[in-house]
Amino acid sequence: MTAADVLQRLAQVIESRKGGNPEASYVARLFHKGTDAILKKVGEEATEAVMAAKDLDHAPADAQARQALVGEMADLWFHSMVAMSHLGLGPDEVIQELARREGLSGLEEFARRTAPKATP
């Protein structure tokens, strides 16, 4: 089982919750609330992940701090996947983009994305 397999199965579960009962499913409730609620949750999880990372940075040998960061990152990935599904994206698209960037210099990739567009 690969990480991509896990992400694909999770994406399928998330997708199956679209149109589901918001009283019976947390994901269905997020979909029901719409884009702003979903993106707000992604932002909250990102902030919690940053705080957990800072805690681990201050105590790198602390197993609890490490597990807290793993949990927060899992929450961030999960809610990002809900947002992606809501917006019609799947994990394969992100994995393909990461594969495309593999071997590129991070500075080179950033320059490509921020370079001014040529006018015809």
Token digits of residue 62: 């602390």
d(CA 31, CA 21): 10
Contacts of 7 (CB under 8 A, 6+ apart): 81, 91, 95
pLDDT given for residue 118 in this prediction? 67
Dihedral over Cα of 91, 6, 68, 44: its sign: positive
Model confidence pLDDT, tens digit, residues 35-70: 999 999 999 999 999 999 999 999 999 999 999 999
Residue ranges in the chain modelled with pLDDT below 50: none
Contact 32, 8 (CB under 8 A): no
Report the candidate in 36, 17, 37 with the shortest Cα–Cα distance to residue 27.
17
